[in-house]
Structure 1
Amino acid sequence: MLKLSRPFLRAFGTCSSSPNSHADSILNCRSPAEALEIFNSATKQVGARKDFQLYSAITHVLVSAKLYVKARLLIKELIQDLQKSCKSRRACELVYNALSGLERSRVSRNVFGVLINALSEMGLVEEALRVYSNMGVLPATQACNALLDGLVKKGQLDSMWELYNDMESRGLSPSCVTYGVLIKGCCRKGDLLNARKVFDEMPERGIERTVVVYTSLIRGMCTEGRMEEADSVFQTMRKDGVIPNLWTYNCLMDGYSKVADVRQALVLYSNLRGDGLQPNVVTFGILVDAFCKVGALMAARSVVGWMVKFGVAPNMFVYNALIYGYRKVEDVLQAVNLTLEMEKYGILPDVVTYSILITGLCSIHRVEDAYQLLKNIRKGVAANAVTYNSLIDGYCKDRNMEKALEVCSEMTKIGIEPNVITFSTLIDAYCKMRNMEAAMGLYSEMLVKGLLPDVVAYTALIDGHFKTGNVKEAYRLSKEMLEAGLTPNVFTLSCLVDGLCKNGKTSDAINHFSEITKVDSNTDVTKDMDGYFCSPNYVTYTALIQGLSVDSRIFEATKFFLDMRVSGLRPDAFTYIVMLKGHFLAKHELGIMMLHADMTKMGIIPSADISPVLCRAYQEIGDLKSAAKIF
């Protein structure tokens, strides 16, 4: 049995038991229309003060006549009025008490189901749970669905399952809507395994899957980037004879847009037109965003032209996507011009627009212009942490830490507290400047404020300490990061490997590499382990190869070089230089020749950096003829 908050009947004030002629008249009416007429007349006479008995009586009459929507609206009206003078919990107690005040023979459980529905819609889920607990019997399925949905909207997904199990134990027969709510809850949590399980259970229980259910699951899969699975469900939907609606198409198009598959997004656009559906502003916004993501800005602008053809006015999202696209290719002037175009449609820049523009100006080192833009944000738009962080990042990249801290101070003065990103940006900048004292000062301030440093902050600190020779502190921070439950990313791994190798701890670097990548250096087998994991990139491999080469461990270096190639990573010129130096120091003629051949195969032409190394390598092994051919 679900354990909810204790019944709150004890907390209720008792309703007046004195006769109320209007309430009695309402209860004795022959029709709900007549009852509503008396109610409306009586409430006007009573004045501003809400009469609980009148609301209780009319609610019971409406529910008995199955006019649930009207009853729910009146309950919500009463609660909202009470919230002006007391807390939500007390307001709900008073309403519950009023509905319970009638003679037992006149009280219907459906009344409390309507109350649960109203409270859930208002976001007062805890109060709705108390009503559910006090009822003692299972409310109507619609009320159960509303309560489950209320928990999903609040993000209380464990409570959703707990409540659903309790409802089933009380005899709930789940409907299609119930399953839709459960699937939505699972998808919101990213639990696609259970979402699919619930989805597959529906036909087994004789419940037909609707377009809403299919689309909820498709949307969840698209959110997680699992487009093959989403497409599979879409095809099943078609086979089952369920016609996709515009929401279905928009979800799929958005999913493909997020993975930069513009071609498939356009195929879906063509299909929805073939199905006779009219694209809306969301559809066009997705296409604009998709084109901007891949830098196809002319195509994105042409989509705005399509919108005019269909009589759909662009909205803020469409223009922000376009502005972001131009910002991404550093055409900030065009991005600024788009804000003028927006005004033609009566669209004024919002905080997202300003944040994009400020970031764009900072990216082309016009940080002072960005600062002036922040100062001149139009009236009615409040800058947020994202806006300030963009500017702080701009000053940090210019190594103007004094101005960065000044902006940080300004945001604090207007009530915006620096967040993890603010601190991480400042810490990273100080670490790059090798000012570890200032960086650690900010790190300590984060902890005092109760902010947990993120992977960016830890990676910057680890790298900074390695580069200033403080291996012990770098080790301590890497251990602390793992204990905090943070997963190292590829940059963290590269910093660890590079730092350890350059500080003469190549064996430790190999151990860290094997542990974090889950690859056993002796067996080439990926370990099946729980915990953190990240895939190395060519920078990580190159750092390890260089460390081993310096230690004259060229055979181990060669093994990691081959692992790098097998994993599909392409070595760059520096990687080849490191390997060549290692081989000629070890006087491995065959190794040098194979590397040279591999470079040719990979299309890497000896450059001004590689040629001297390759020439010297051949000279070291006595192959003067090959050395002469290099230049």
Structure 2
Amino acid sequence: MRRLGAHQWCYFVSISKQPPRCTHGFSFFSFSSKIVPEQLLLIDAILESLRNSENWDTLSNKYSSIDFSDSLVKKILLRFKQPETAKRALSFFHWSANTRNLRHGTSSYAVAIHILVRARLLVDARALIESSLLNSDSDSDLLDSLLSTYDVSCSTPLVFDLLVQGYAKLRLLESGFDVFHRLCDRGFSLSVITLNTLLHFAAKSSRIDLVWRIYELATDKRIYPNETTIQIMISALCKEGKLKEVVALLDRIHGKRSSPPLIVNTSLVFRVLESNRIEEGMSLLKRLLQKNMVIDTIGYSLVVLARTKQGDLESARKVFDEMLQRGFDANAFVYTAFIKAYTEKGDIEEAERLIAEMENSGIDPYEETFDSVIVGCARCGREEESLKYCEMMVTRGLLPSCSAFNEMVKRLSKIENVRRANEILTKSVDKGFTPDEQTYTHLIQGFAKGKCIDIALKLFYEMEYRKISPGFEVFRSLIMGLWCCGKVEAAEKYLRIMKHRFILKPKRKTG
């Protein structure tokens, strides 16, 4: 084949893109737009050379003076878009990149990837996807190019599965999740294999927060899990130390050991509700119930939780009554949801009535039940009742949460109640309770105000023994307490210790 004259190549450079049009919701450039005769002649010549399987040196000699613009590359690639000619498209793509030292644009990559995926040359397609992602200036460049060339390349949705999998394997996890989200929003139904790949690499990278965001989105978009998905999610629960907690929650609702899928799906809805995203949680629960991925008892219980979180106790009660009418038993989880809601409203009498109703029905309150009423009573100034419930739960072998215990101690005004709290602490520590800085701070403040400075000092040394650093409030309480008791030298000693440790008064937060 004779080489064309140099004057004929000037028509093949700087080819401008045609205005985009839209088909099936995707905009793309019309590559079948007008081609000048000289350009058509060039494209035909290159195609003929590729059909004849000419080697790269021959191709380079023939077309050494051609400026292969991105537009020209795409036009040539699209002439090989049929599966039987896909390997020629790949050969041209690599030749133009390596021999001509051409840096392909994302549109050329996109067309080549579409052609390879359609021909099921998936190893080559994955290689081009990873190469493009590593060299792209923007996280969304390749996705935009794949979308804009989707129809003209006669592609298949598999290309987008491979794209998301490519992001995952390169550990571009946030970008991969964003692309996954965009594709789902555009109506593409990505495969469970793609979901599992994204989940696997997120879990492997210890991005447990992202694991749950991915699983939530998949559930919302009706991409349902398989056995591998559930295994990944159970592993994620173990990694964040939440598996035992979720299993205990399910035991309280229906008293049986639950299957792994039920554990995962209940955990998903529960954590969405706990983050106060009530509408999203209810939408997810509805989808899961429709697919029998959550049982009715759990469904009712979670709806009650959602309504109590919204403060709509009347609606919550109607759901609870319907639950009972349909033959489901009341459970500790539902009672606790109501008790927590009433204590937050300050209606301690109703909360106490529900606790009595629970126990009369043979349902045992658990840690969160007691925590709620302990905090509720303390905040309403009913410190004796708060202490009573705290003593009751410790006697039953349960331990208060550190936050609930601290809230109670912080609000104690009588020295005899501070003593009771200290006794509860001693019993609780023996059973595994772990106090924190706030626990000791509140107790030391209480004893110092009550002029029981010896007990305050004992708690100070216990605090240091546990390697909990005393803060400004502890030292201030000790110094003021010692001063009020006439122990001036001891007060000065602790003042020197405080200065030596550079413990300063914390600045007040403004705004």
Instruction: Give the TM-score taking structure 2 as reference length.
Output: 0.45
TM-score, with length taken from structure 1: 0.37
